[in-house]
Amino acid sequence: MPQKAFRFGVVAGATEGGAKWRETARRAEELGYSTLLCPDNLNMPSPTAALAAAAAATTELRIGSFVLASPLRTARAAAWEAHSLTVVTDGRFELGLGTGRPEMREQAGELGLPYGSAQERLDAIAETVDHVRRLDGDGHTPVMIAAGGPKVRRLAGAKADIVTLAGGVLVTRKDVAGHVEEIRAAAGDRDVELAMNIWVVGDEVPPWIRGFLGTDAETLIEHDSLGIIRGSTDAMAEELERRRDELGVSYFSVNGAFLEAFAPLVERLSGK
């Protein structure tokens, strides 16, 4: 398939209040980011509310969930929220879906919902996509699925518009290439956009990211991790071009802590 042009997103939560969140959205748009992506977690404002506010504060910036965790709402409720955001933003919403991290078990319980088995959580993603397609009618909400394991990679290839490679920060390039092959095989003739989240820009890992990932910069560098990008702007641009050439990844999201540090790459590569 033809090589896709680069585009970039930033992952952030509305944890510092509405004014700061709207400022982040406007700054992301000003810097040329394609999307502002919001995590799904009961310990922060809901992505639905946060993303609606971000869209209202901007004019062209796309918004997306990164990602709605299937245990935290029923498939029909997730589709309702997604389609609603598509409608009120005039098509600027991208629905990101995932099966949820282990800590979602407790959060699902707070909501009175079952965490479900791995297969049940996977089935919920498929059902959500089907509900969204029905609700959209003649419209189309782009769906992104975060694909970590083989079953979700196959599902993502078959149903998603965008697939984020989510196998872990220490997965080798060779293994990631194999994951891409699985996704492409499941997609068949479908034109799927491949995405990747970059956790760290530079040589230092902020403490909370280190705690979340369970690893430090030295380990990431030693393992040639795809979760980190470092060096000069030229070197980082060459690395992103390598990932597109070798893996087909053209859509990169970056943690909000590096919104400004990553901006030169957005300026240089967006749309190319």
Residue 129 pLDDT level (bands cut at 50, 70, 90): very high
* Angle, CA 70 vertex, CA 139 and CA 256 arms, to 5°: 80
Residue 208 pLDDT level (bands cut at 50, 70, 90): confident
Q: Is the pLDDT of residue 102 over 80?
A: yes
**Residue 63 near residue 48 (C-beta atoms within 8 A):** no
pLDDT of residue 2: 82
Asked if residue 192 belongs to a domain, the reply is yes
Asked if residue 41 belongs to a domain, the reply is yes
Asked if residue 214 belongs to a domain, the reply is yes
What is the average per-residue pLDDT within 135-153? 97
Asked if residue 213 belongs to a domain, the reply is yes
- Domain around 73: 7-269
User: For residue 203, which amino acid is it?
Assistant: D
Q: Structurally, how many domains does the chain consist of? A: 1
Looking at per-residue pLDDT, the higher value among 206 and 235 belongs to 235
What is the average per-residue pLDDT within 82-91? 98
Q: Is the pLDDT of residue 167 over 90?
A: no
Helices 75-88, 118-136: axis angle to 10 degrees equals 40
pLDDT of residue 103: 87
pLDDT of residue 162: 98
Token duo for residue 173: 């390039």
**Residue 17 near residue 44 (C-beta atoms within 8 A):** no
pLDDT of residue 83: 98
Quick one: CA dihedral 41, 240, 191, 31, positive or negative?
positive
Asked if residue 1 belongs to a domain, the reply is no
Asked if residue 255 belongs to a domain, the reply is yes
**Residue 94 near residue 72 (C-beta atoms within 8 A):** no
What is the average per-residue pLDDT within 160-172? 95
Residue whose pair of structure tokens reads 């070798």 in the numeric block: 246
Asked if residue 258 belongs to a domain, the reply is yes
pLDDT of residue 75: 98
Q: 177-207, pLDDT tens digit by residue?
A: 999 999 999 999 999 999 999 999 999 999 9
Distance CA 60, CA 237 (A): 25
Q: 21-49, pLDDT tens digit by residue?
A: 999 999 999 999 999 999 999 999 999 99
Looking at per-residue pLDDT, the higher value among 254 and 168 belongs to 254
Asked if residue 44 belongs to a domain, the reply is yes
Looking at per-residue pLDDT, the higher value among 56 and 101 belongs to 56
Fill in the DSSP letter of residue 270. Answer: B
pTM score, two decimals? 0.96
Distance CA 37, CA 118 (A): 25
CATH number of the domain within which 226 lies:
3.20.20.30
